[in-house]
């Protein structure tokens, strides 16, 4: 067995693991990252074909925290953050047989056909409605109580589809949307809370959280690839299989198969950034009763289909894309327009679309064959995006993610407790990743900063 000594071993070369390892190596620590995949980036992967640049996983993030700007600034232009065009603020919601603009201002909110007249009137009373008392209230129940059913159906439900590919009835607000939950808890109302937040003075650092939609110049995977380069290729061990961690008197021993031999990394600290399903095997020295509260985390399956059209003719696509409320009973969750948001994602007269299919409520869609999906896309190009009937994509690539997005449902409290207990019991072992702390890329980067701070 080959032995390596390090200060920190990071399991998982996704965005969380690579950002953490990069920050730690900048502090002068000796860090090793291992991943069972053959590539660095985890769920983030960019493809380039026939003039289209498309993603198999996430398409965009939001600069929700200062840490995102700080990370890109620290990379000194080696990977450039690309903000989406202003028009990406336009978002559409499917109702009936077409996409409608999601209103932003007051006037448009009054005229939109998305919400019922009674809910539009009822929303004026939102600031005066009583605060909820059930801490485990679902997003559906909370939003229906405060905003009305049509707002749940045509705003909250599609928003949750877009973020969680989830079911509003089972996602628990305080875990899934903590900011929204806190608006009600701290200010008594979403509207009052949002106004109060807007008035709060902002420090220069707060202003780095621009709230803009971002990708990277040339595709999202430039970020993990740049981070891996900075950490040093020799410190990122890919295709590392059958990893297990064992506590030692001082620190931990991580062993795994790599290039036909068993490797052992001995380090004072180990940080895991893997999905909940990987935890029992990785930490097999911990009682299964304890790890089962982590491994029972449900992941929504998602299929993403990259669709390229080389010439859209007279059709022009502006905006972020369209989302489909579940009550509309269509097969797709949403269609994003990446080439409308970012430079050089499609040939000059063409467009790139990203179809999201499946999710918690339509998991069976991932069992459809490629042929079935392709004919569904051809149909939707006509019915939803209004291309002439029979228009065929010039490029189509189907990506299935069986364990895509963790669902922060009622079991989350027990999961967070189990994580805390394990960390207390085994000092130096830290459980990060999307099992806690949020599911989006911005959450992952922020968590990496927090994890790196824990190691002195």
Angle (nearest 5°) at CA 55 between 232 and 405: 90
User: Which residue lies nearer to ligand FAD by CB, 114 or 243?
Assistant: 243
User: Which residue lies nearer to ligand FAD by CB, 147 or 223?
Assistant: 223
Least distance CB 321 / ligand FAD (angstroms): 10
Least distance CB 435 / ligand FAD (angstroms): 9
**Whole-angstrom distance, CA of residue 19 vs CA of residue 25:** 10
User: Which residue lies nearer to ligand FAD by CB, 243 or 265?
Assistant: 243
**Whole-angstrom distance, CA of residue 234 vs CA of residue 222:** 19
CA pseudo-torsion sign 392, 396, 400, 404: negative
Least distance CB 268 / ligand FAD (angstroms): 20
Q: How far is CA 194 from CA 37, 64, 130, 142, 162, in A?
A: 42, 15, 17, 16, 22
CA pseudo-torsion sign 198, 204, 205, 211: positive
User: Which residue lies nearer to ligand FAD by CB, 95 or 401?
Assistant: 401
User: Which residue lies nearer to ligand FAD by CB, 260 or 389?
Assistant: 260
CA pseudo-torsion sign 290, 430, 19, 258: negative
Q: Kindly state the helix (H) or strand (E) to which residue 47 belongs, with its residue range.
A: strand 46-49
Residue 412 tokens read as 């989350």
Least distance CB 15 / ligand FAD (angstroms): 4
User: Which residue lies nearer to ligand FAD by CB, 346 or 439?
Assistant: 439
Q: How many CB atoms neighbour CB 238 within 10 A?
A: 16
Least distance CB 56 / ligand FAD (angstroms): 7
User: Which residue lies nearer to ligand FAD by CB, 345 or 444?
Assistant: 444
**Residues lying near ligand FAD in the complex (CB under 6 A):** 11-17, 34-37, 42-44, 57-61, 240, 243, 273-275, 278, 282, 302, 304, 401, 404-405, 433-434, 439-441, 444
Least distance CB 35 / ligand FAD (angstroms): 4
User: Which residue lies nearer to ligand FAD by CB, 155 or 213?
Assistant: 213
Least distance CB 158 / ligand FAD (angstroms): 14
The DSSP-derived string for 318-348 is -SSEEE--GGG--SEEEEE-HHHHSTTSS-T
> What is the phi/psi pair of residue 253, to 5°?
-115, 115
CA pseudo-torsion sign 190, 194, 197, 202: positive
Least distance CB 239 / ligand FAD (angstroms): 10
Q: How far is CA 404 from CA 163, 277, 303, 363, in A?
A: 11, 12, 9, 11
Least distance CB 135 / ligand FAD (angstroms): 25
User: Which residue lies nearer to ligand FAD by CB, 93 or 341?
Assistant: 341
Residue with tokens 């996602």: 171
Exposure letters 368-393 (e unless 16+ CB within 10 A, then b): beeeebbebbbebbeebbebeeebeb
Closest CA to 443 of 136, 199, 82, 178: 178
Q: Are 60 and 204 in contact (CB under 8 A)?
A: no
Least distance CB 403 / ligand FAD (angstroms): 8
Residue 287 tokens read as 């009682």
User: Which residue lies nearer to ligand FAD by CB, 44 or 376?
Assistant: 44
């Amino acid at each position: 067995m080959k032995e390596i000594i390090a200060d920190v071993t990071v399991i998982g070369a996704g965005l969380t693991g690579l950002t953490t390892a990069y920050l730690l190596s900048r502090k002068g620590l000796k860090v090793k990252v291992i991943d069972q995949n053959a590539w660095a980036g985890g769920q983030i992967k960019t493809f380039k074909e026939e003039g289209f640049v498309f993603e198999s996983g996430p398409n965009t993030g939001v600069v929700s925290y200062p840490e995102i700007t700080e990370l890109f600034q620290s990379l000194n232009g080696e990977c450039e953050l690309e903000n989406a065009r202003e028009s990406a603020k336009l978002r559409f919601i499917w109702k009936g047989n077409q996409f409608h603009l999601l209103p932003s201002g007051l006037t448009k909110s009054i005229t939109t056909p998305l919400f019922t007249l009674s809910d539009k009137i009822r929303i004026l009373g939102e600031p005066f409605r009583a605060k909820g008392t059930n801490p485990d209230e679902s997003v559906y129940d909370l939003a229906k109580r405060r905003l009305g059913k049509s707002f749940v159906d045509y705003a909250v439900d599609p928003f949750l589809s877009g973020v969680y590919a989830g079911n509003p009835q089972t996602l628990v607000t305080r875990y899934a949307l903590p900011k929204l939950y806190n608006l009600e808890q701290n200010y008594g109302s979403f509207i009052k809370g949002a106004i109060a937040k807007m008035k709060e003075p902002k420090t220069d650092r707060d202003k780095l959280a621009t709230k803009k939609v971002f990708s990277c110049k040339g595709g999202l995977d430039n970020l993990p690839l740049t981070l891996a380069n900075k950490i040093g290729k020799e410190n990122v061990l890919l295709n590392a299989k059958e990893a297990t961690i064992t506590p030692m008197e001082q620190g931990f021993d991580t062993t795994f198969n790599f290039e036909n031999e068993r490797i052992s990394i001995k380090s004072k600290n180990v940080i895991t950034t893997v999905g909940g399903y990987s935890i029992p095997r990785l930490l097999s020295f911990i009682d299964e009763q304890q790890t089962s509260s982590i491994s029972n985390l449900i992941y929504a399956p998602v299929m993403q289909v990259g669709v390229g059209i080389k010439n859209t003719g007279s059709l022009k696509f502006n905006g972020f894309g369209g989302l489909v409320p579940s009550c509309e009973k269509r097969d797709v969750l949403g269609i994003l327009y990446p080439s409308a948001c970012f430079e050089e994602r499609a040939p000059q007269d063409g467009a790139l679309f990203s179809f999201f299919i499946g999710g918690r409520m339509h998991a069976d869609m991932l069992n459809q064959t490629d042929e079935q999906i392709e004919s569904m896309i051809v149909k939707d190009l006509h019915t939803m995006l209004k291309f002439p009937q029979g228009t065929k994509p010039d490029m189509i690539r189907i990506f299935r993610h069986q364990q895509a997005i963790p669902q922060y449902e009622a079991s989350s409290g027990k999961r967070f407790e189990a994580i805390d207990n394990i960390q207390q019991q085994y000092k130096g072992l830290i459980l990060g990743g999307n099992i806690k702390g949020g599911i989006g890329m911005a959450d992952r980067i922020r968590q990496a900063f927090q994890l790196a701070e824990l190691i002195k």
